[in-house]
Chains A and B, each alone.
Chain A
Amino acid sequence: MNTYNMVKQEFIKKWITTLHMLDSSVEHPLNVTERKNAIRLSSDIAMAATRSGATIWSRALISRTRKYTTTCKPVAHRILKKARNRMKNRCTTITRNGIFGAKMRVRKRTELLKSLVPGGELIYDKDYLIRETLDYIVYLQAQVDVMRTVAAIDSVTRDLS
């Protein structure tokens, strides 16, 4: 369980950081929806930062969230630059995979999966898409686990005080 725990540990460190950054930057929104968006945004950025730009979905997530915040821009730029240096050999838009026969169902579902995974629309290679999905699922699960635990701890400390 050590690798998965390491993943979760990295994620929570980065999440704490991004939460602080967001909280100091934004004038305190009173709305629940805004708060939820801020929390979701910070946790998405933290998740992508934990993957540190080695995958397409993490970079797409960062560039997607860049629209919503201005303070996380330096962080996002740093991660993207690091990713660009590291990913020189990675060829992402390769060639359209040949679709022989009537595999329309698979095709349709692949399109749907592409829409779910951030940055998936850019991937033409089905092989690569599956690898990205695998990675994304692992990190989504880590995110869910950490958030669930934090919520549990939070509720328990709330009951105590």
Chain B
Amino acid sequence: MDLTGAFGARSAAVGPCREPPGLESLHLGGGDGGFTALLELPPTQAVELLHFTDPSPSSSQAAAAGIGLDVSPPPPPLHAYGALTFPSNAALMERAARFSVMANEQQQNGNVSGETTTTSSVPSNSDRVKTEPGETDSSQLENNRCGKRKELDKKARREKINARMKLLQELVPGCDKIQGTALVLDEIINHVQSLQRQVEMLSMRLAAVNPRVDFNLDTLLASENGSLMDGSFNGTAMQLAWPHQVTETEQSFHHRQLQLQQPPQPQQWPYDGLIQPAWGREDDQGHGNEHNSLMAVSENLMVGSASLHPNQVKMEL
């Protein structure tokens, strides 16, 4: 279907091996550091590449809007602030999440590639700018050279900023048509404010309904224990659990199902480090059991709560 095509195109665009030609030789940081490698490109090429990927989000939007059935009808009582979930939002979040997670992973691996070199290039910029006043008494020729270097630095920074602003524009819905930095910043500010207000409202909602702070965890645990990893629920309940995401095609759906079955080993390690001292303080007895059931809860939350009403499941389908 069109969406998988658009996804494939977009994920290929993040990696360095794609047209426009001439960039195939640039294998900066391999395939996983795709977007940070993008930022390391000479600025004009980076902007060009970003422009080149621009048609794909809009085409996927058009495809999603045209198809209609891939955009699930807005789930009834959830959107108090109107529909902030746009059809292509899922793909954009994926791309941006990949960008930030890749940056995180690169720092974790101590990888000296795009991310750290971009940040280390900025201090070198500042060093060069700082030495400017110190060189005022030098000869005319040297002054010219320093001036040109400063201009080039500024131009490079401006291009980098513009490239990132483009990505921000894509991330914030409804920002593509706006020209001018001030208005784009306006939209970004509105988006951040609305997200923060949503968090506020959702936490108020959770607090108002439940008499305790750890609200529904006990009910979740009770309901999940009865139907852990039930294979038959995976298909329908997953769609219900994340109803406002773009529903994928069959292949990617099965692919995700397969991925979820494998216990995520590397993810458990930081989690263990986080909770073990805390649990040690409180309850030593139920440590093992609670840990396992918490893992099951979190995994099942991704899969979908099995205790949901079958009528609602049918409605989603």
Chain A interface residues toward B at CB < 8 A = 1-10, 12-14, 16-17, 19-24, 26, 28-29, 32, 35-36, 38-40, 42-44, 49, 51-52, 54-55, 74-75, 78, 86-87, 89-91, 94-95, 97-98, 105-106, 109-110, 112-113, 116-117, 125-128, 130-131, 133-145, 147-161
Contacts and interface: CB of A to CB of B under 8 A. Distances in A.
Contacts of B210: 35, 154
A60 B218 CA distance: 32
B199 A91 contact: no
Contacts of B267: 6, 9-10
Contacts of A138: 93, 96-97, 100, 171
A84 B165 CA distance: 28
B119 A90 contact: yes
Nearest to B268: A13
B207 interface: yes
What is the predominant secondary structure among interface residues of chain B facing chain A?
helix
A77 to B, nearest CB: 11
Given A13-B271, A130-B161, A39 B206 contact: yes
A91 to B, nearest CB: 4
Interface residues of B, number: 96
Interface string B114-139: 00100110110110011000000000
B308 A35 contact: no
A87 B142 CA distance: 36
Nearest to B79: A148
Contacts of B59: none
A13 B93 CA distance: 20
A153 B308 CA distance: 8
Interface string B163-203: 01101100110000000011001101101110110111011
A154 B192 contact: no
A7 B101 contact: yes
A contacts with B: majority SS: helix
| Closest 5 pairs between A and B when the two form their complex, measured CB to CB | A35-B207, A36-B207, A109-B185, A147-B202, A40-B203
A52 B208 CA distance: 30
B278 interface: yes
Interface of B: 75, 77-78, 90, 93-94, 96-101, 103-104, 107-108, 116, 119-120, 122-123, 125-126, 129-130, 154, 157, 160-161, 164-165, 167-168, 171-172, 181-182, 185-186, 188-189, 191-193, 195-196, 198-200, 202-210, 212-217, 219-220, 223, 241-242, 244-245, 248, 252, 256, 259, 264, 267, 270-271, 274-275, 277-278, 282, 294-295, 297-299, 301-302, 305, 307-309, 312
A24 B280 CA distance: 13
Contacts of A116: 189, 192-193, 196
B181 A95 contact: no
Nearest to B171: A137
22 contacts: A1-B252, A5-B256, A28-B212, A35-B213, A38-B213, A40-B199, A87-B107, A110-B185, A113-B188, A127-B122, A128-B122, A130-B161, A130-B164, A133-B192, A134-B167, A137-B188, A137-B192, A140-B196, A143-B199, A144-B199, A154-B209, A156-B307
Given A134-B164, A134-B168, A149-B241, A12 B207 contact: no
A14 B219 CA distance: 18
